Amino acid sequence: MKNNIAANSATGRKTIKTAFVLLFLLVIASCSQQPIRSNSPQSSSFESLFNGHNLVGWNIIGDANWQIRDGVIQADQGSGMLVTQNSYQDFRLKLEFWVDETANSGIFIRASNPSNITATNAYEVNIYDTRADQTYRTGGIVNLAAPLYKATTGHQWNNYEIIANGTHLSANLNGRKIVEVEDGALKSGPIGLQFGKGIVKFRNIEISQLN
């Protein structure tokens, strides 16, 4: 009799354990079928802003001697900007740049006056390692946010990824976040590539608008 009771008890425990295992597997299966939600901004596919051959889609402001060589936009004399003919509000911008150690350049976004872009009527994500006031050197957003660390970019190709999403502005340099700030002063506008001095080159310029 005792053996039968023990056997029944063991069988009961085994049944309960099996039921728990089945319930656990059902929960896992149900969760795997749920859509994964993300707080990251959703972007459309990237489109090229530079075709590698000419400056279609861009306006030239100033007298910088912009040239195209082997799919690269470059300048080394004068002063001025290349400005997109289209305006952009919320987006993810990717590009590569090459500068010498003396170069003064930058990426201007949401420019409110495309014919006269400055760091006060646009957000300037700087490219200027040797800036006199190092507060807003390369990686900083001029007059708004200092870079999170000191980056040296001369004589090498560098990757910039700039994100504007509502009031949230950020940039990654060579895969590492270099600036992040909240500001709602400027809503939308063209993008400008600056040549101030030195040697400046750009290539692989792409944008993806955020939903």
Do residues 143 and 189 touch, judged by C-beta distance below 8 A? no
Determine the pLDDT at residue 19.
46
Please give the share of the chain, as a percent, with pLDDT higher than 70: 79
Residue 102 has pLDDT above 50, yes or no: yes
Specify whether 33 is located in the same domain as 71. Answer: no
Q: Do residues 80 and 136 both lie within one domain?
A: yes
Question: What CATH number is attached to the domain comprising 205?
Answer: 2.60.120.560
Same domain, yes or no: 20 and 86: no
Q: Which residues contact 132 (CB under 8 A, 6 or more apart)?
A: none
Q: What residue has token string 């402001």?
A: 61
Same domain, 20 and 54: no
pLDDT of residue 94 exceeding 50: yes
Mean pLDDT of the chain: 87
Question: What pLDDT does residue 42 have?
Answer: 60
pLDDT above 90: residue 10: no
Same domain, 72 and 94: yes
42 assigned to some structural domain: no
Per-residue model confidence as pLDDT tens digits over 20-36 = 444 444 434 444 443 33
User: Would you say residue 113 lies in a domain?
Assistant: yes
Percentage above 90 pLDDT, the chain: 79
Are 175 and 87 found together in one domain?
A: yes
Q: Please state the pTM of the whole predicted model.
A: 0.80
- Distance between CA atoms of residues 156 and 145, nearest Å: 25
Q: Do 91 and 195 belong to one domain? A: yes
pLDDT at 28: 42
Could you give the number of structural domains in the chain?
2
Which residue type sits at 131? R
Residues 174 and 93 in one domain: yes
Q: Which residues form the domain of 131?
A: 47-209
Is the domain of 25 the same as that of 52? Answer: no
Q: Is the same domain home to 76 and 111?
A: yes
The phi, psi pair for 28, rounded to 5°, reads -60, -45
Are 71 and 104 members of one domain? yes
pLDDT computed for residue 90 by the predictor: 98
pLDDT of res. 211: 77
Based on the fold, state whether residues 98 and 169 are members of the same structural domain: yes
